Chains A and B, each alone.
Chain A
Amino acid sequence: MSVDQKAIDEVVSNLQLPPKVIGNLKRELKDAKITKKQLDEIIKRTTAIYDYSRIEAGEAAGVVSAQSIGEPGTQMTMRTFHYAGVAEINVTLGLPRLIEIVDARKNPSTPMMTIFLEKDYAFDRDRARELAWKIEATYITVLGSMSTDITEMKVIIELNKKAVLQRNMSVKEIADKLADELGIRSEISGDTLTMRPEEPSYRQLLQLVKNVQSVILKGIKGIKRVVIRKEESSEYVLYTEGSALKEVLAIDGVDATRTRTNNINEIFEVMGIEAARSALIHEATETLREQGLTVDVRHIMLVADIMTVDGEVKPIGRHGISGEKASVLARAAFEVTVNHLLDSGISGDVDELRGVTENVIVGQPIKLGTGNVKLIAKKVK
């Protein structure tokens, strides 16, 4: 009597419904013993409810989205720093972070990465740690102490054997690296390195100290710190302060499919505009969720879409979307009024009065929603 699974799947898959709803239907109808009639009824009702819940044509979707994201802004905290799961790493959250996201800043104030590892590494603490050392930028100061001998005009680096070994390095390696970067050979004696500046001058000596300190001996530039944390799924995940997506993805053992950074522009440069769009959605959703505010994804999607629609991440505001509007009046009414008017005079721009502000300015009904519908009464003879 009941319809078999395959038939259900086939019927359901061909429905004119969003994939998500079809997926839901399929999942719920799995192993359900229903008759053909029941299936038809279910499909009928589902389609009806979908039609009911569809957005109406003419809806001012933009304004609703803008309000839905802007309004909770008043309820958000100003506190810049918070701990994102890991107590050791500070991340900008709340309103400042939301502003940062819509501003499409080139560099967020607290860049951060979440690095997932491939199976062989993810469940092995030692291997995870090994990767962490590979990623974290190591400077000489963490490996030992430096001192200057003014009488002898030399810099003495006393390495901490434990720290060096911990990072899987050797004294020789460090000396070579320093020589590569600075062009100055150092004498190795046990755990001590001695370097001399090219010219024995006080100034050169100090400069050398500075230079030595700035050499990255191991790891990736820009990643100040790596923290390893065991997630609930007993998988080890690396959290970093600082971000360098391209370099990190190149490292073996890093799961490139899940690893992410909170620097949207970096994602855009490495993986393209579609990735940047989903990063925008992800970051904005997370920022709002962390504050305990629920905002429908569709609103955030619309903001992300308008920011990325031209193939580059453009900020919301006078340097981005609002500054590139077609309408002169709309731009003038937003910011830098006079300049927009002067420029439009020069290029002989024409304002077609299609948008909202323009029509408000000239005092006629706006062409949106009910204002976009034309009805003419036909005289019946």
Chain B
Amino acid sequence: MVIATPKRIKQIKFGLISPKEFRKMSVTRVITADTYDDDGFPIEMGLMDTKLGVIDPGLRCKTCGGRAGECPGHFGHIELVAPVIHVGFAKLIRKILRATCRKCGALLLEPNQKKKYLEQIKTLRKMGQPIEDIVNEVFKEARKAGTCTYCGEVQQEIKFEKPTTYIENEHKLMPTDIRSRLEKITDEDIEVIGMDPQNARPEWIVLTVLPVPPVTMRPSITLESGQRSEDDLTHKLVDIIRINQRFQENREAGAPQLIIEDLWELLQYHVTTFIDNAVSGVPPARHRSGRPLKTLSQRLKGKEGRFRGSLSGKRVNFSARTVISPDPNLRIFEVGVPLEVAKELTITMNVTPRNLDEVKEYVRRGPDNHPGANYIVRADGRRVKITESNSKELADLVELGWKVDRQIKDGDVVLFNRQPSLHRMSIMAHEIKVLPHKTFRLNPAVCPPYNADFDGDEMNLHVPQTEEARAEAKILMHVQENILSPRFGGPIIGGIHDHISGLFLLTNSKEKINKNDALELLRKSEIRELLEPAGMVDHEPYWTGKQIFSQILPGGLNLQFKAEICEQCEVCKGVDCENDAYVVIRDGILERGTIDEKAIGAFKSVILDKLIKEFNSDIACRFIDDATRLSIRGIMHSGFSFGIDDEYIPPEAQSQIDEVMTQAQDKVEKLISAYLAGELEQLPGRTLTETLEMEIMKELSKARDSTGDIAGRHLGMDNSAVIMARSGARGSMLNLTQMAACVGQQAVRGERIKRGYAGRTLSHFEKGDLGAQAHGFVRASYKSGLSPTEYFFHAIGGREGLVDTAVRTSQSGYLQRRLVNALQDLEVQFDGSVRDTRKMIIQFKYGEDGINPMNSDFSKPEAVRRIIDSVVGVKE
């Protein structure tokens, strides 16, 4: 068997096409502006000539004999009666005309200058650098010459009028004149102006022949009414041919110069808009409906254009998209796939002696019995669909060398993605788990890298089709290999929300858990035996939450750190912390401390960090699996809910809050009266008003904070919201303050709300009122409810946040696109340097030390200390 290695395009050369070549590559000359005859057949030498390719099913291409879909299409051409200028090069023509002699066509530079510039251009080309600057200098220098040093001709000033008019001495230069001037330039001079004489003669930018793009490039569509609707390009070509014909008739009839010139200009207009319909100074050609036509340039440009839309971004088969939902019982690298999806997506299996029986079984099961097979491809390349009825027969027929499209099944590697794909962890390889129902299921611990939640998010799934792709996916893109973020070298996958509060409740309580409950908690973890019980109650053994958690920790893990709930006391009591915030893990046993965000949370998890770096990703992965399962059971064990009652504040606390508020209000009043009396002390570099604003803001935020403190004192660790905030599961104490005590100052652009009516924010206030209430201070709490004015201010502040988010996404998206585009070709070489496509060295050693940021911890002093400790410790 001969394995054909795919051919590789080595390079693409760009250039201009000469009129000669246009004619050579053309299959027919197009002379009639009509497309179809009365019977609906393409007219010969018309724009839809079947020589140009076919789009209608049933017809065959007269050039290559291919049917629609097979024939790639062929170019035709229009012989222009008079030359016209290519708009894209109008500015270049101006530069060339000004830089060359009007009589002999020589570049207006001294021979030695030419030589110097040519050498510079050649070196730059060799180094792969842009030659633009040198070429511009050539044009600038050449323009300075008054007379031609070669023929002595005095040069004239050439005026350029956008888009395509050149005036020399009040006399308009026709494209024919321009073309004949450009023809006179020698090959040597052409090189000096940065052109390539073999592939781009300057006169070729004045068009004498216009290529007609193949029909396949401008297909017409048949509307429901049976009427044909032509492509924008076809419309434009019709215009060009019509004018071209009229021009010819008029010229042959000897029409006056004025009419000829008008027609010439019209032809120029049509050719111009055919190339680019958005040239400034040219009214865009419009469709009958008034919509501007989409011509050649418009097809290439922009996000949906050919380059960014069709060539850089491609559509694929073997993909699925649906809503996601959580399932903590899945392992983190699994993805739950609906049965319907699994039946549709396939993997091609090549039938070999080793898998013949397996393949036969798939085929036998047919398309409806998952995991079955949907198609077989016979050795001759014929595709046969497997159906319920023919599956048995086909299974017997299967031979070596055939291919079978097998349905995906549990354990297959697929790529899972959520947009926006901002970093490489936005696409990771998961293993399939076929499940009932219609959503993709994933372990909530992998939400952070995808930035996913379950409020209706959808995600995509792709099935790699080749063995190489699957291997790469598994080795490089597997979730396990991506627990560490290359951005900062810490874990990006980890517990969120209930994982944190669940384990917090479990490890922070003194509850005695009996055997039954202990086993229930650990049910989904692969634990075979329990630790020694912590003690006995009523002759029954019991365990503590810490012990239960220790079960999922691997042996040999030693750690000490401060938990998230740590209150940052001035003197850390360490092991004797009364909040149980000092975590001690010895040989895989949680001896002291509480498990919270710092221990297992995504981005922050100290345990995970340690597990990956000192054990391996397998163990870390298993730990997350177990932790997510245990935590969900843990939270169910004690129960956890949050309701409006959790925002209740006892009356004595309420009166304290009211007092703080009144005091703050008084202080603000005092500040205002001091300001009005001119007694306010001005801050350096601030105006008096600014000073007042800053003082008021400071005072009010202080007041809000102290109400929060009061509320916090009365809402203890038995409050769900406090547990969530303190453990880092969700929300903050600020959120709780706003719900229970006081919402606080609403701000626009970091200042109090000032806009609104003249001299006041709302008509509810006096003009010139500087008080807190009049400028967006919300004294109420969400629970007590906002007054109408407060509500309005709150909406103003909220709106700013929305606008901010909208603006930020577009700005940061563009920043990201630019960064990726600038850096995408950089690669670490085998010698450790970083180079671009030109092999230019960007860094001699990646990051100055050659260390992967993912493992950057190993370059820190602690890593060395650990090694020393382990070596010295072992010896002694």
A interface residues, Cβ below 8 angstroms from B:
18-21, 24-25, 27-29, 32, 34-35, 37-38, 41-42, 45-46, 49-50, 52-74, 76-79, 81, 87-89, 95, 98-99, 102, 225, 227, 294-299, 301-303, 305-306, 309, 316-317, 320-322, 324-330, 332-334, 337-339, 341-357, 360-364, 368-370, 372
The reply to whether A55 and B847 form a contact with Cβ atoms under 8 Å apart is yes
| Listed A/B pairs (14) with beta-carbon separation below 8 Å | A18-B851, A42-B868, A59-B828, A61-B826, A67-B816, A68-B486, A69-B819, A78-B804, A102-B819, A295-B487, A298-B848, A306-B822, A346-B194, A347-B195
The reply to whether B750 and A63 form a contact with Cβ atoms under 8 Å apart is no
Contact stretch, chosen from B6-14, B55-63, B147-155, B229-237: B6-14
The reply to whether B871 and A42 form a contact with Cβ atoms under 8 Å apart is yes
Given A102-B815, A341-B14, A350-B11, A332 contacting B852 (CB threshold 8 A): no
Assembled-state Cα–Cα distance A325/B834 (Å): 16
The reply to whether A88 and B683 form a contact with Cβ atoms under 8 Å apart is yes
Task: Tell whether B200 is near chain A: CB-to-CB under 8 Å.
Answer: yes
Task: Tell whether B171 is near chain A: CB-to-CB under 8 Å.
Answer: no
The reply to whether A352 and B826 form a contact with Cβ atoms under 8 Å apart is no
Residues of B close to A61: CB separation below 8 A: 826-828, 834, 846
The reply to whether A297 and B847 form a contact with Cβ atoms under 8 Å apart is yes
The reply to whether B422 and A71 form a contact with Cβ atoms under 8 Å apart is yes
Task: Tell whether B44 is near chain A: CB-to-CB under 8 Å.
Answer: no
Residues of B close to A305: CB separation below 8 A: 834, 842-843
Q: Chain A nearest CB: distance from B310 CB in Å?
A: 9
Cβ contact of B809, chosen from A42, A74, A332, A353, cutoff 8 A: A74
**Could you give, for residues 835-864 of chain B, a 1 whenever the CB lies within 8 Å of some chain A CB and a 0 otherwise?**
011101111001111111101101111011
Cβ contact of A70, chosen from B88, B422, B837, B855, cutoff 8 A: B422
User: Looking across the interface, which residue of chain A has its beta carbon closest to that of B278?
Assistant: A338
Given A78-B807, A296-B489, A322-B821, A364 contacting B843 (CB threshold 8 A): no
The reply to whether A301 and B12 form a contact with Cβ atoms under 8 Å apart is no
Cβ contact of B826, chosen from A53, A81, A302, A348, cutoff 8 A: A302
Assembled-state Cα–Cα distance A355/B89 (Å): 28
Assembled-state Cα–Cα distance A32/B838 (Å): 49
The reply to whether A347 and B871 form a contact with Cβ atoms under 8 Å apart is no
Assembled-state Cα–Cα distance A330/B842 (Å): 19
Q: Chain B nearest CB: distance from A144 CB in Å?
A: 18
User: Looking across the interface, which residue of chain A has its beta carbon closest to that of B199?
Assistant: A348
Given A55-B852, A299-B853, A352-B837, A66 contacting B861 (CB threshold 8 A): no
Q: Chain A nearest CB: distance from B557 CB in Å?
A: 19
Cβ contact of B867, chosen from A45, A59, A354, cutoff 8 A: A45
Count of B interface residues, CB-CB < 8 Å: 108
The reply to whether B14 and A62 form a contact with Cβ atoms under 8 Å apart is no
Residues of B close to A60: CB separation below 8 A: 824, 826-827
Q: Chain A nearest CB: distance from B215 CB in Å?
A: 23
Assembled-state Cα–Cα distance A225/B815 (Å): 32
Cβ contact of A350, chosen from B13, B194, B300, B420, cutoff 8 A: B13
Question: A42-B871, A55-B850, A316-B822 known; 7 other A-B pairs, CB under 8 Å?
Answer: A77-B808, A348-B195, A351-B12, A351-B14, A352-B11, A356-B825, A357-B821
Task: Tell whether B811 is near chain A: CB-to-CB under 8 Å.
Answer: yes
Q: Chain A nearest CB: distance from B748 CB in Å?
A: 11
Residues of A close to B281: CB separation below 8 A: none
Residues of B close to A320: CB separation below 8 A: 822
Given A18-B851, A70-B819, A320-B822, A88 contacting B834 (CB threshold 8 A): no
The reply to whether B815 and A98 form a contact with Cβ atoms under 8 Å apart is yes
The reply to whether A303 and B819 form a contact with Cβ atoms under 8 Å apart is yes
User: Looking across the interface, which residue of chain B has its beta carbon closest to that of A82?
Assistant: B750
Assembled-state Cα–Cα distance A298/B836 (Å): 17
The reply to whether B858 and A53 form a contact with Cβ atoms under 8 Å apart is yes
The 10 lowest CB-CB distance pairs between A and B, nearest first, are: A348-B196, A62-B826, A70-B816, A298-B847, A62-B823, A73-B812, A18-B849, A53-B855, A296-B853, A66-B819
The reply to whether B12 and A348 form a contact with Cβ atoms under 8 Å apart is no
Given A20-B849, A298-B851, A46 contacting B867 (CB threshold 8 A): yes
Task: Tell whether B297 is near chain A: CB-to-CB under 8 Å.
Answer: yes
Task: Tell whether B830 is near chain A: CB-to-CB under 8 Å.
Answer: yes
Cβ contact of A71, chosen from B131, B194, B487, B685, cutoff 8 A: B487
**Could you give, for residues 466-504 of chain B, a 1 whenever the CB lies within 8 Å of some chain A CB and a 0 otherwise?**
000000100010000000001111100000000000000
Residues of A close to B423: CB separation below 8 A: 67-68, 70-71
Cβ contact of B861, chosen from A24, A55, A342, A363, cutoff 8 A: A24
The reply to whether B858 and A342 form a contact with Cβ atoms under 8 Å apart is no
Assembled-state Cα–Cα distance A332/B299 (Å): 13
Q: Chain A nearest CB: distance from B797 CB in Å?
A: 13
The reply to whether B11 and A338 form a contact with Cβ atoms under 8 Å apart is no
Given A24-B864, A53-B851, A35 contacting B128 (CB threshold 8 A): no
Assembled-state Cα–Cα distance A330/B827 (Å): 16
Given A329-B12, A338-B297, A338-B301, A64 contacting B486 (CB threshold 8 A): yes
Assembled-state Cα–Cα distance A227/B685 (Å): 9
Task: Tell whether B684 is near chain A: CB-to-CB under 8 Å.
Answer: yes
Cβ contact of A364, chosen from B8, B131, B314, cutoff 8 A: B8
Residues of B close to A102: CB separation below 8 A: 815, 818-819
The reply to whether A294 and B487 form a contact with Cβ atoms under 8 Å apart is yes
Assembled-state Cα–Cα distance A76/B836 (Å): 30
The reply to whether A316 and B827 form a contact with Cβ atoms under 8 Å apart is no
Assembled-state Cα–Cα distance A59/B830 (Å): 10
The reply to whether A333 and B308 form a contact with Cβ atoms under 8 Å apart is yes
Residues of A close to B856: CB separation below 8 A: 53, 296, 298
Cβ contact of A322, chosen from B16, B89, B131, B818, cutoff 8 A: B818
User: Looking across the interface, which residue of chain B has its beta carbon closest to that of A89?
Assistant: B685
Assembled-state Cα–Cα distance A61/B43 (Å): 57
The reply to whether A322 and B472 form a contact with Cβ atoms under 8 Å apart is no
The reply to whether A68 and B300 form a contact with Cβ atoms under 8 Å apart is no
Residues of A close to B849: CB separation below 8 A: 18-21
Residues of A close to B847: CB separation below 8 A: 55, 296-298, 301-302
**Could you give, for residues 181-209 of chain B, a 1 whenever the CB lies within 8 Å of some chain A CB and a 0 otherwise?**
00000000000001110111000010000
The reply to whether A348 and B15 form a contact with Cβ atoms under 8 Å apart is yes
* Interface positions of B from 675 to 695, Cβ below 8 Å from A: 683-686, 694
Cβ contact of A38, chosen from B14, B196, B307, B871, cutoff 8 A: B871
Assembled-state Cα–Cα distance A27/B862 (Å): 11
Assembled-state Cα–Cα distance A200/B848 (Å): 68
Residues of A close to B809: CB separation below 8 A: 74
Given A309-B840, A354-B837, A341 contacting B300 (CB threshold 8 A): yes
Residues of B close to A349: CB separation below 8 A: 13-14
Residues of A close to B859: CB separation below 8 A: 18, 20-21, 24, 53
